[in-house]
Amino acid sequence: GQQLNQSPQSMFIQEGEDVSMNCTSSSIFNTWLWYKQEPGEGPVLLIALYKAGELTSNGRLTAQFGITRKDSFLNISASIPSDVGIYFCAGQSYNQGGKLIFGQGTELSVKP
């Protein structure tokens, strides 16, 4: 089945630093999504990407849909303590009924 490889697995950074994480897939997707999950909660959508090459920002977050449709990255600029959490990429294919295939997650820790 489809698999997503997300890296890095974890990051420990200083407040104010920029962060970058990425996902690669063995097959193409129609949509790439980035979620954040905090303890005891479900994933919350941060950014959705619908077109190959698309670059989208949401505040300090920027994500891109790779040209090959098999990869995506998420950047967080000027990190703050509330950015702490687990970030997941997810891919979606229209011919699979809308289910999401998730990466393994990147755990982000921010030191004040």
Give yes or no for residue 80 binding other proteins (CB under 8 A). no
Binder of other proteins out of 34, 72, 105, 108 (CB under 8 A): 105
How many whole angstroms separate alpha carbon 90 and alpha carbon 44? 12
Instruction: Give 79's contacts (C-beta < 8 A, 6+ positions apart).
Output: 13, 15, 16, 17, 18, 19, 60, 108, 110
Quote the least distance from Cβ 110 to other proteins, whole Å. Answer: 20
String marking each residue 83-102 x if it binds other proteins according to CB under 8 A: -----x-x-x-x-xxxxx-x
Q: In the window 24-53, what residues touch other proteins (CB under 8 A)?
A: 30-31, 33, 40-45, 48, 50
Q: Which two tokens stand for residue 101?
A: 């295939």
Contact yes or no for 88/35 (Cβ under 8 A): yes
* Amino acid code (one letter) for 43: P
User: Site residues (CB under 8 A) for other proteins?
Assistant: 4, 6, 30-31, 33, 40-45, 48, 50, 88, 90, 92, 94, 96-100, 102-105
